[in-house]
Amino acid sequence: MEATEVRQIVLDIIEDVALDEDLSNLDDSVALREQLDLDSMDFLDIVMELKKRHKVEVPQEDYPQLATMNSCVEYLTPKMQ
């Protein structure tokens, strides 16, 4: 799977979890929680949706690797092959 496809998957999940957020000006290098009004439950929902929709397990110790869109794509791309 290409990095652009993984990015779109993450965006789709964020759109479903954070319904009121505008993702059009998202800076891929800035922490998602700084740009969006995501609390810890929203973050867990994103992780659970990755597992449910794409069978991707993210261990708790790897959560920091999902901080930015760039780091999400880098972390998830090899797991979605």
Q: What is the pLDDT of residue 19?
A: 87
Task: Tell me if 62 sits within 8 A of 40, measured CB to CB.
Answer: no
Say what percent of the chain tops pLDDT 90: 86
Enumerate the domain spans of the chain.
Answer: 3-80
Residue 20 has pLDDT above 90, yes or no: no
Q: Give the model confidence (pLDDT) of 46-60 as tens digits.
A: 999 999 999 999 999
Q: Give mean pLDDT, residues 54-79.
A: 96
The values of phi and psi at residue 20, to 5°, are: -90, 0
Q: How confident is the model at residue 81 (pLDDT cuts 50, 70, 90)?
A: confident
Tokens of 67: 């901080």
Rounded distance, CA 55 to CA 37, Å?
26
Could you please state the CATH topology (level 3) that the domain comprising 3-80 is classified under.
1.10.1200
Q: What is the pLDDT of residue 49?
A: 97
